[in-house]
């Protein structure tokens, strides 16, 4: 009995188990491993992660070799953008009202139109620099379109825009006759297809049908509702309500600037909200008011 008691009180080797896990003085282990074991596992993971990093680096380099810095791999049907461009407009509301499409101002000498004029002028700055930055630009016409092998784009003829829609006239805003700039949004390789044998869609405006020329893509604006049609008054387009097709397709050529037209409201009703919808007219353009495909919407209100 005494022998058993002596054996019992030799001490429990499990005493202080966690501290012995941190450091075991008998085996010289730290966290359950000897120094040599820690060295081996450290070397293993260094080699493992170095190989893993090298593998993904090589894969990334190979991937980048397949990319074209000018042209994306997927365009038109294969791209997320799709095959139908939207229609952009200027001026746009301030960034704090990024979801708004309302152009609202007071006309006259003491009016609130300066922001809208400045926004259009800021957009046109690049067009004013075409001559200086035009290494990849040249003058085009129907007889001399751009050859895809040229790596050039057509210079937009800014001088074709009437002085009515110019900074000298404050783009008409001071006088309550605002000019709205309309441009077709860029989609690489998109080209406006002409209608076949004058087979027009049912809702195409009469002035487009009567003067249709397949060498152009047409843009028109109208009030969304009967009241809007009455309140918008007469419209005039500069240089016309169409854009020459030799400006297309867009190929991400350096220096390319989107062609545009101005629509001017000559006598819009004051003090009422006018809802406007502008559309692109081409065979391969379908219109969706909800998604703004092939069209643009904005509201105009003048005090």
φ, ψ (nearest 5 deg) of residue 149: -80, -10
Contact by Cβ (8 Å): 220, 201: no
Beta bridge partners of 200: none
Angle at 187 between CA 251 and CA 221, to 5 degrees: 125
Q: State the Cα–Cα distance between residues 84 and 294, nearest whole angstrom.
A: 6
190 and 279 inside one domain: yes
42 and 179 inside one domain: no
In a domain, 7, yes or no: no
pLDDT in single tens digits along all 303 residues of the chain: 445 554 544 445 555 677 777 778 777 787 778 878 888 889 999 999 999 999 999 999 998 888 877 777 778 877 777 889 999 999 999 988 888 999 999 999 888 999 999 999 999 998 887 765 567 888 899 998 888 777 888 989 888 888 899 999 999 999 999 999 999 999 998 999 999 977 899 999 999 999 999 999 999 999 999 999 999 999 999 999 999 999 999 988 888 899 999 999 999 999 999 999 999 999 999 998 888 789 999 999 999
49 and 96 inside one domain: no
172 and 57 inside one domain: no
Nearest to 174 by CA among 233, 122, 115, 128: 115
Task: Please give the structure tokens belonging to residue 199.
Answer: 């087979």
Task: Please give the structure tokens belonging to residue 165.
Answer: 């829609």
Q: For the chain, how long is the longest CA-to-CA vector?
A: 122
140 and 56 inside one domain: no
36 and 147 inside one domain: no
Q: State the Cα–Cα distance between residues 281 and 184, nearest whole angstrom.
A: 11
Domain boundary among 38, 67, 96: 67
Q: State the Cα–Cα distance between residues 272 and 293, nearest whole angstrom.
A: 27
> Where residue 184 sits, what CATH number does that domain have?
2.60.40.1660
Structural domain including 115 reads 78-302
In a domain, 72, yes or no: no
In a domain, 47, yes or no: yes
Counting the structural domains of the chain, the total is: 2
36 and 145 inside one domain: no
40 and 156 inside one domain: no
Give the C-alpha distances (Å, rounded to integers) separating 123 from 42, 71, 89, 117, 220. Answer: 59, 25, 10, 10, 21
In a domain, 116, yes or no: yes
In a domain, 8, yes or no: no
φ, ψ (nearest 5 deg) of residue 174: -60, -30
Q: State the Cα–Cα distance between residues 215 and 100, nearest whole angstrom.
A: 34
Residue 111, number of CB atoms within 10 A of its CB: 17
106 and 56 inside one domain: no
167 and 217 inside one domain: yes
153 and 267 inside one domain: yes
Angle at 230 between CA 227 and CA 236, to 5 degrees: 135
């Amino acid at each position: 009995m005494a022998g058993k008691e002596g054996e019992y009180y030799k001490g429990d080797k499990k005493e202080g188990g966690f501290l012995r896990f941190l450091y075991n003085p008998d085996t010289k282990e730290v966290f359950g491993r000897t120094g040599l074991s820690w060295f081996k596992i450290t070397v293993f993971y260094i080699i493992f992660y170095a190989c893993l990093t090298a593998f993904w680096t090589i894969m990334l380099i190979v991937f980048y070799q397949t990319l074209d810095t000018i042209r994306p791999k997927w365009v038109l049907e294969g791209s997320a953008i799709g095959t139908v461009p939207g229609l952009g407009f200027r001026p746009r509301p301030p960034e704090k009202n990024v979801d708004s499409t309302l152009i609202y101002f007071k006309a006259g000498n003491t009016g609130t139109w300066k922001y809208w004029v400045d926004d259009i002028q800021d957009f046109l700055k690049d067009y004013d620099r075409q001559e200086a930055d035009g290494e990849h630009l040249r003058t085009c016409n129907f007889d001399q379109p751009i050859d895809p092998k040229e790596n050039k784009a057509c210079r937009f003829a800014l001088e074709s825009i009437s002085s009515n829609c110019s900074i000298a006239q404050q783009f008409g805003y001071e006088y309550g006759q605002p000019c709205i700039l309309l441009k077709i949004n860029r989609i690489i390789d998109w080209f406006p297809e002409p209608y076949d044998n004058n087979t027009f869609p049912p809702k195409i405006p009469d002035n487009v049908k009567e003067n249709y020329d397949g060498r152009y893509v047409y843009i028109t604006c109208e009030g969304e509702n009967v009241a809007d049609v009455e309140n918008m008054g007469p419209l005039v387009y500069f240089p016309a309500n169409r854009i020459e097709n030799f400006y297309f397709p867009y190929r991400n050529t350096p220096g390319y600037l989107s062609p545009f037209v101005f629509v001017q409201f000559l006598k819009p009703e004051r003090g009422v909200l006018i809802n406007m919808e502008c559309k692109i007219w081409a065979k391969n353009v379908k219109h969706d008011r909800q998604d703004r495909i092939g069209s643009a919407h904005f509201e105009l209100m003048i005090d």
